[in-house]
Every structure is written in C-alpha cells, then in structure tokens.
C-alpha cells in the first residue's frame, strides 16, 4: 500500500453541494490507513504552488459535518490553467509535503489538470495516485449520468422560470415578454431544466434555446409572436452559449477566460438574453424583462436538492475508495440504474476520456423544431429534481359575463 499524505482542491465555479464532496473526502481519508494527513488547497492548484495548504485532518467534526450543507467552495477556488512550466513546481511541493494522493473536485478543465499532473509525476518517477471528483452545474461531463450540483441548479432555474412566468402572465398588460438566461457554455442541460415547472401549454416557459442547435432569429421572432397572440405574453429561456448557424455566439462577446472559453456574462461582453430582448423590442416595440442569474445558481443551498447533497458526499467517499485500491487516473462517475425507483451506482471513467471535452444534450432530448424539450428529457430530469410546487390561478369568472380576457 502506498503511504503518504493527501491533498484535495476545488476548482472552477462552485455549486451548492461541492463542499459535501469535500466532506466525503475528509471522512473517507480518516478511514484509509494509507493517508497519514489530508491537506486542502487554498485557491486550487494556484494556491498549492504557493504552499497555501490547509490542514483538513485537524478540522473539528462539527465543521466537517457542516460542510455537507454549506454552499460555495470552502477551500477557495481557482481557474488557473496549468502550464508546462508549472509542473516542476507542482512536483516540488508534492515531494516537500509527501503527497501521494491527489484529489480535485471540478469539471472537465479540472479533470484535465489531474490527468496532466498524474501523467507528469509518473513520467518523472514520482508515485502519485490521482482521482477526480465530478462537479459542475452545467452537467456536461462525459462518463457520468449527471454531475453533483446539477440537480440543485436545475431546480433553482426551474423554480425561477416557473415563478417568474406567473409574474409575467399577470403583468402581460405591461410587459409582453421575459427572457431568462442560464449558464452553460457548450450544453443546454440547465436551460432545458427550466421546463420542469411548466404545467400546461399557456404556462412558462414557452420557448427554450440551447447551444446544441443553431439559433435562427427569424424563427425566434415568428415563434415569440405566435405565443403572444395565443397566451398574451411569451416566456423565453436561453442558454448563454447559443449560436447562429455560422457559429457566431448570439451574445457576440469577445471576452475570454484563461482556458480561452468565451465569458458570456463578462463585463465588456454582451449576453444572449440582452440580445434576444433587443430583438423583440426592435421587431415589435414590446416592453419586456430579462433575468440573468449567473453565479446565483451556484450557491443557493436553500434551493438545493437533498439527494444532490447526498450524492456529492458519496462521490467524495468513492474517490478515496478508488485511491485506496491504487486506481489512479480516474474520475468517480454515477450510472443510472432505474428511474422508478430512482437508483444509481458509483463507477469510474478514465480522466483522459473526460478531460476538456463537454457533453452536449442528446438531440432526442429536444423537440424537432429546436425550441423546447422532449418527453424523454423530462424522464431524465424528474427523478433528479423532485416534484415542483403546485400554484393556483383565479377562475376567470367576471361579474359582467360579457367580459373576456383579451
């Protein structure tokens, strides 16, 4: 058995449940004799290279338990893209602190970091076990049915659009439309989830646009006008990364992050929602609203799904189990066994198969016209987010029976 210390870090955007995974690693490490002490990276791999290591083995039991329901990234996150010149320093710190077990909680860029660090150490004769723990509200990691954090973010979005739709319905004499933008650079899992609160044809949302299919301005304006004619208003949802047929982002943003990804919500860049808002205003002269949630869905523990917290914690436990078996170069995954009852198993995927790539929604999760989701997607989503609240509407019975809603 390889013996030494362990390090765990959190990377990229946080989620409501990422700290539950951290708690799982802490609890799992206590039960594994191969780990003498567990450190935490303060501000990810960037902080690790600066030797900003937090002693997680010394944390009070109450703190570790509390992490399971605490949002955001308690260790502090980072979006530092590891460069070739970083690797000697990374291995120097690993050796200095006798780190033999390397865990990172994150998305596809994070899995790339673990993969590259593990390969570099192997190439240079330093024995290191590297295991990834999935995390991303975008739900775009290959190899896993879903990611911890997605269910809670999906429910947050669904509730927001559902409740905002009721507001839009009742305010249609003032505002004819609302546009709600979700995060999701390359995949529309969160935008699609906004349909979960729809109760009938007239209720929100009416139109959903995801990055998987090209966006057509002409079709959008035509479909929005049809909804306003039929329902009195239109509720639109768009993913931040939607693009025209030629690949141009609807956001038209030119701002990039350190991984060369477009910063759709960045200052200095436009946003898809604002541009859709402008299209409707300019075409029809309507007044309307837009909502851009950005990081709010990443830290809303009050709307978190209980099972999401549990699965995130279990993924941390399972990562230590993989490491204890000497299985390096893998990410913990979840495989769905059944929907009714909802059951999953915990498995593994090679980091090389997960790193950097983004998993789009299957096209059969979207309708043929590309502006809504299919029944198959609802079957996938419903077990993850649970039942939505039931709201009522006044019966349209007027004292003057000749009156009607126009």
Which residues participate in catalysis according to the annotation? 138
Residue 17: CB atoms within 10 A of its CB come to: 32
Beta-strand (E) ranges in 75-176? 99-106, 129-134
Q: How far is it, in rounded angstroms, from Cα 225 to Cα 15? A: 36
Do residues 68 and 96 make contact, with C-beta atoms less than 8 angstroms apart?
no
Do residues 133 and 103 make contact, with C-beta atoms less than 8 angstroms apart?
yes
- Tell me the three state secondary structure of residue 34: coil
Beta-strand (E) ranges in 309-370? 330-338, 343-350
- Tell me the three state secondary structure of residue 374: coil
Instruction: For CA atoms 96, 97, 101, 102, give the dihedral sign.
Output: negative
Q: How far is it, in rounded angstroms, from Cα 175 to Cα 287? A: 5
- Cα angle for residues 206, 207, 212 (degrees, 5° grid): 150
Which residues fall within 8 angstroms of residue 100, CB to CB, at 6 or more apart?
2, 3, 4, 5, 6, 34, 127, 128, 129
Residue 55: CB atoms within 10 A of its CB come to: 10
- Tell me the three state secondary structure of residue 181: strand
Q: What is the H or E stretch that residue 179 is in?
A: strand 177-182
Structure tokens at 352: 């090389």
Q: How far is it, in rounded angstroms, from Cα 32 to Cα 305? A: 29
């Amino acid at each position: 058995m390889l013996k030494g210390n362990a390090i765990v870090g959190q990377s990229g955007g946080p989620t409501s449940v990422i700290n539950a995974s951290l708690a799982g690693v802490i609890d799992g490490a206590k039960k594994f004799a191969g780990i003498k002490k567990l450190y935490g990276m303060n501000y990810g791999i960037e902080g690790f290279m600066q030797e900003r290591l937090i002693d997680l083995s010394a944390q009070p039991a109450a703190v570790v338990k509390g992490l399971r329901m605490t949002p955001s990234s308690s260790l502090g996150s980072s979006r530092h893209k590891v460069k070739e010149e970083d690797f000697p320093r990374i291995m120097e710190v690993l050796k200095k602190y006798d780190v033999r077990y390397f865990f990172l909680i994150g998305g596809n860029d994070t899995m790339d970091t673990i993969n590259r660090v593990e390969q570099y150490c192997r190439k240079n004769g330093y024995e290191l076990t590297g295991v990834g723990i999935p995390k991303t509200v975008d739900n775009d990691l290959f190899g896993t049915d879903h990611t911890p954090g997605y269910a809670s973010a999906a429910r947050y979005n669904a509730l927001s659009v559902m409740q905002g739709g009721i507001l839009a319905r009742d305010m249609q004499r003032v505002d004819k439309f609302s546009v709600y933008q979700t995060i999701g650079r390359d995949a529309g899992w969160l935008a699609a989830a906004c349909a979960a609160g729809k109760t009938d044809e007239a209720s929100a949302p009416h139109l959903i646009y995801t990055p998987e299919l090209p966006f057509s301005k002409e079709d959008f304006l035509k479909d929005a006008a049809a909804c306003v004619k039929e329902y009195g208003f239109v509720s639109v949802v768009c993913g931040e990364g939607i693009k025209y047929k030629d690949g141009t982002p609807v956001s038209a943003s030119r701002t990039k992050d350190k991984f060369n990804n477009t910063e759709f919500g960045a200052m200095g860049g436009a946003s898809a929602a604002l541009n859709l808002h402008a299209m409707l205003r300019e075409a029809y002269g309507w007044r309307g609203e837009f909502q851009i949630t950005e990081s709010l869905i990443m830290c809303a523990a009050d709307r978190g799904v209980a099972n999401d917290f549990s699965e995130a914690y279990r993924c941390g436990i399972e990562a230590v189990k993989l490491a204890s078996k000497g299985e390096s170069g893998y990410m913990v995954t979840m495989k769905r066994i059944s929907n009714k009852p909802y059951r999953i198993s915990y498995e593994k995927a090679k980091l090389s198969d997960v790193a950097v790539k983004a998993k789009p929604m299957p096209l059969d999760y979207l309708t043929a016209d590309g502006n809504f989701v299919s029944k198959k997607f609802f079957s996938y989503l419903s077990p993850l987010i649970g039942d939505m609240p039931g709201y009522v509407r006044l019966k349209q019975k007027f004292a003057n029976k000749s009156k009607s809603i126009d």
